[in-house]
Structures are given as C-alpha cells and as structure tokens.
Structure 1
Amino acid sequence: MKVLQFTIPVPLDKSIIVQKDVLPYFYPHLHRHQEIQLTWIQQGEGTLVADNNMHPFRPSEIYWLGANQPHIFKSEASYFQPKSRKKIVALVIFFNPDGELAGFFNLPEIKVLKNFIQQHQSGFKVPPEHATEISSRMLKITNSSGTEQLLQFVELLKQLSGCPDITPLASGQRAQPVSEHEGIRIGNIYNYIMHHYDKPITLEDAAKQACMTPQAFCRFFKKHTLHTFVSFLNEVRINEACKKLTDGSYDNIATVAYTCGFNSITNFNRVFKSVTQRSPSEYMNSYFQSV
C-alpha cells in the first residue's frame, strides 16, 4: 500500500537512527518507510494499525514494524481535544538492512540475525516478559555512539531473536497496492471511524467521507483493506473495549459496551468473542493474570 511514503533523514555518520518523540499525539496518518522501526511506547495509548490489522497499545509496550509496512500509531481521540494536556513519549530506533548496513548483514556470522529480520517482515509486539530487557538495551543504544552503538545494536538483535512465541502484527493475505491518493483516502476513512467509533456510524456516513456512493465505497474499502466496513468498525470498537476493560476506569462490562458504540450488551458479547475468541470476562482474567 503506497501510503505517504516517508524518507527517514539519515545522518552521514550514522546507519542507526535513534529518535525521541515527545508530542501532543502520534503522527496521525498511515505511512511507511524503507527502514525497520522499533518503537518503545513510554507514554500514550491508542490503536496501532499495521497493514490491515489493529492492536491496542499502552505504555511500556514495544513494537517492531517491518520495512515498508504501512502503519499508524493512532492516539486516542482525547489526545486531539483542543484543551488536551496529554502527550505521547516514545523512543524509536530506525535501521535499513538493505541500506548502509547491507554489507554488515551479508557477513556469514550475521546470517542468523538476517534470517530473523526476513522472517518478521509483518512486524511483531515484543513479548511483555522481555520488554524490560529490550527497553534497557534500547537505552544503551541511545546513550552510546560509534562502534559501541553498533555493538549494542547487535546485542539488541540477538535479544530479540531469542524471544520465543513471537506473534506477527499482520498475517494472511495483503491488500492490493494502491496509489498515494487512494492511500490518503483510506487513511481519512480510518481517521473518521477511529474518532467516531463511540457514536452510531452508518455505511452512508463513511461513504460520504470518501466522497463515494455506498455501493462504490463497499467495493473500494473491501478491495484495499480486506475488511468490510462493518468488520473494520467492529474491530475498532472491540480494540477500544479491550483497553477500557483493562485500564480500571469503568465499573462494569455493560458500561464499556455502551461507551464503545454498542447498543446492547448481547451484541457486544457476540462481537467481542468473534474478534478475540474470548468473552469479555475471559479476556480480562487472562490480561490481569499475565500482568
């Protein structure tokens, strides 16, 4: 998907780019770049869209995004309020294994790490039990330079390659490539749904955002996202529900259901199980046990 193709500025004397973001909210548009991206969420919450899959994100989580993988860390709607005092903080490492580092990754001694990178082009979330050691290594990379930074980077890749049970952020069939204009249109639709998921949204409402008839919109959306409008809306709502169920700010499951745009608890339970393969209470129990 050609969505706002970015070129990460690379200093002449560096092949590994370290970036600290402190902003009102994450960059709000779908985009991709040649560099692999490792993002440690230090502050902020929302929904990560990677290819056509959604994942709620929270502080202390770390995500690996593959080269040219379309993605967006979409901050929660409250971050965009005019008087919001919220902010996001993230530490990000970029590197391009086919750029300045290509010769390094072609060394026979680095074959295991190169294979690891090639096997995870769809990205992954660092398992929670390994987040502390990976974040510590990211800090060492941030606080070093030259040869020492490169050595710390190799150690980081070794630690990541040793993580068991890595689940890809995206799996299965990929959507067809689209033009930049179409990509921006899809991004605008995503943005609209993510900002209005808690309200009744009709197919006609979404089609109007894309300046299309409902019939044309259905074909366009399914072709380029592999989702129907309803399935995408349901996934957004369930992702938001997962965050609300586990952040301790709501008294009961029914309240969460209604604040996420569902008009009945029965429908919420049915959709929740179809998306997560668990009931809301099972999801909560599993989450708190792992934490």
Structure 2
Amino acid sequence: MKVLQFTVPVPLDKTIIVQRDVLPYFYPHLHRHQEVQLTWIQQGEGTLVADNNMHAFRPSDIFWLGANQPHIFKSDPSYFAPRSRKKIMALVIFFNPDGNLSALFNLPEMKPLKNFVQQQQCGFKVPALQTPDISAQMLRIANSNGPEQLMHFVELLRLLSGCPDISPLAAVNKKVTVSDHDGIRIGNIYNYIMHNYEHPITLEDAASQVHMTPHAFCRFFKKHTLHTFVSFLNEVRINEACKKLTDGNYDNIATVAYTSGFNSITNFNRVFKSVTGKSPSEYLNSYFQHVEKTGQQQ
C-alpha cells in the first residue's frame, strides 16, 4: 500500500470536494495527495505532522495543507484505547488548482488568488481571529452546489488570502522528497514514536521498527526528516507536554514531565526551553495571555 501517495475520490461532476469525517480517530498513516486540503477540526485533539514539523490541534483549529505535502493528523492515544467511545469530527475541503480548476485560476482576475495558493505549499494554520469567518464560509461551500458553490469557494480563497501573520507549518526552504517505500518506513517510525513517547525509547528500539541497524537508521532518519532521532523524539514529547499544560489536567509541572516521557524535571525544563524558547511557566503565561487577548478581540 502506498502510504504517502493517497488518491482523493473525485466525483465526475465536482471540482471542489467536500468531506465530512465522523470517525473513531483520524486516518492514522502519513500520506500526501495532489489536492490542496483545508481541514476544520470540529471535534478531536492530537498532533498534526506536516512534512517534518509538529503542531498540536484542537477543536476549532483550521489547517491548510499544500498539494503533495506529507501529513498526518494523529489523534491522541486515548482515541485508540480499547472500548474508547471518543470520536473525531472534521469538515475537509479538497481542490486541485492544476486540475479542472486551472482554467479558473488562469483568469487575469484570479491572479492574486493563484499567487496566494502557489505561495502556501508549506501549509499554514488559520489565525484564531479568522477561524469564525473561514469556518462559516466552509459551511456555505458544504451546503451548496453548482455555480453557487464555486462562488463561495472563490470567496473562501479571498478570505484566506487576507489572513494576517500566516506562519508556514513546515520549513519553507527544506522540502524533502520521499519515495513511497521510504514514506512507509518513516510513517511506521512516526507511528511508533507517537504511540510510545511516554515510555523510554532507545535508538535501537526505533531502528528495529524498520529493520535497520542503528547507524543506518540515524543516516536514513536525518536525510528524510532533517531531524536527528533524539531531536524528533524530544519535539514529540514537548508537543505533548504543551497540550497537557494548556489543557490544565495535571497536578504539577513534574507530573507533565514524567507523563510526557522525561525521566527528570531538570532535563524536561532544559529540553522544553530549547524547543519552545520558553520555560514551562513562561509558556503557560504566554498562552493564557494570548487566549485572553483573543477573547477580548472577538
């Protein structure tokens, strides 16, 4: 099975594909497709891996993923637990600017929007202040057909192109080409790490998942992810720690450290600051100040 190259089913009478997902968890494999993808998380939480970067996702988040950008929305481990009654809900819009829509994008009036789409190959997260307008427009697209749907789609692109302070999901100048075979192996490694990050994981453990020697695994992993194994594992653990901190469901910061896979609070604090640029307490203060400011502006 080609884990990376994924084919989005395209109806013969559609150029804009709308998909409503209500599932126990998100599609659990690293994949890519020709279509640009806009995903509105309505229910569910976890980690988005886009190219070689990680981002926590929660309800109300909206993400743009570029054409052929490798990605996976990895639901939190609790969604995979036996007898779990959790479910995810998402509204997803796919479109291929180089397919049937190319005639639309080649119109002179569409040049600004075409340039915008071409500039977003590394994806982005819609800023929180713009999510109400963008999600409402996505609903208009989902609930319409024919010319009306196309007009709503153009308006969606116009709204997105006006979003300020867009930051790419992945490094702009570090796109990595991955074959299907290597993509399967990388997907297996990601899957293993993200299911076991809270436990001790050695280099040998990870290498055994893809039947490689530790030395060969280190070269392979760095070549295809631009991370060392340790730096990637640390980022996964810190990403999970950030989610635990901002959710507020913890006794103290030491509990967050140990349940995120760190064996000492000193090491946790050091790695946390190296990844986020802030100490855990500084990160929390910054997060809640941002939440308060966003709430006031809305």
Question: Structure 2 length as normaliser, TM-score?
Answer: 0.95
**What is the aligned-residue identity percentage?**
79
Alignment of 1:100-111 (within 5 A): 100-111=100-111
Structure-2 separation of matches of 1:127 and 1:111: 24
C-alpha distance in 2, partners of 1:178/1:104?
31
Query: One-letter code of the match for 2:12?
Result: L
Would you say the 8 A contact 1:175–1:225 is kept in 2? no
Secondary structure of the equivalent of 1:5?
A: coil
How do residues 60-209 of structure 1 correspond to structure 2 at under 5 angstroms? 60-174=60-174, 176-209=176-209
Per-residue CA deviation, residues 81-110 of structure 1 (Å, 9 max, x unaligned), is 121111110000000000010000000001
Q: Is the 8 A contact 1:63 1:125 kept in 2?
A: yes
- Three-state SS of the structure 1 residue aligned to 2:74 is strand
The one-letter code matched in structure 2 to 1:237 is R
CA deviation string 1:201-252 (max 9, x = no partner): 1011101111111111111111111111100000000000010000111122
CA–CA separation in structure 1 for the residues paired with 2:288 and 2:135? 22
- Cα distance between partner residues in 1 of 2:130 and 2:176: 34
Which amino acid counterpart does residue 35 of structure 1 have in structure 2? E
Q: Which amino acid aligns with 2:76?
A: E
State how far apart, in whole Å, the 2-side matches of 1:113 and 1:3 are.
31
CA distance in 1, matches of 2:255, 2:113: 46
- The answer to whether structure 1 residue 275 and structure 2 residue 275 are counterparts is yes
Gaps of 5+ in 1: none
Asked if structure 2 preserves the Cα contact closer than 8 Å seen for 1:175 and 1:224, the reply is: no
- Runs of 4+ that moved beyond 6 A: none
Map Cα deviations across residues 57-97 of structure 1 (whole Å, 9 max, x no partner).
Answer: 11110000000000000111111112111111000000000
**Letter in structure 2 aligned against 1:118:** Q
The runs of 5 or more residues in structure 2 that have no matched partner are 292-298
The residue number in structure 2 matching 1:50 is: 50
Once the 2 structures are TM-superposed, how far is the Cα of residue 3 of structure 1 from its aligned partner? 4.8
Whole-angstrom CA distance in 2 between matches of 1:284 and 1:23: 31
Q: In the TM superposition, what is the alpha-carbon distance from 1:177 to its structure 2 partner?
A: 2.3
Give the deviation of 1:180 after TM superposition: 1.2
Would the aligned equivalents of 1:26 and 1:73 in 2 still touch at CA under 8 Å? yes
Question: CA separation in 2, counterparts of 1:115 and 1:34?
Answer: 17
| Contact preservation (8 Å) 1:120, 1:168 | yes
Q: Calculate the TM-score normalised by the size of structure 1.
A: 0.97
Give 1:178 shift: 2.9
Q: Please, which moves more after superposition, 165-174 or 2-11?
A: 2-11
State whether residues 51 and 174 of structure 1, in contact with CA within 8 Å, keep that contact through their aligned partners in structure 2.
no
Aligned residues: 290
**Contact 1:3–1:70 (CA under 8 A) maintained in structure 2:** no
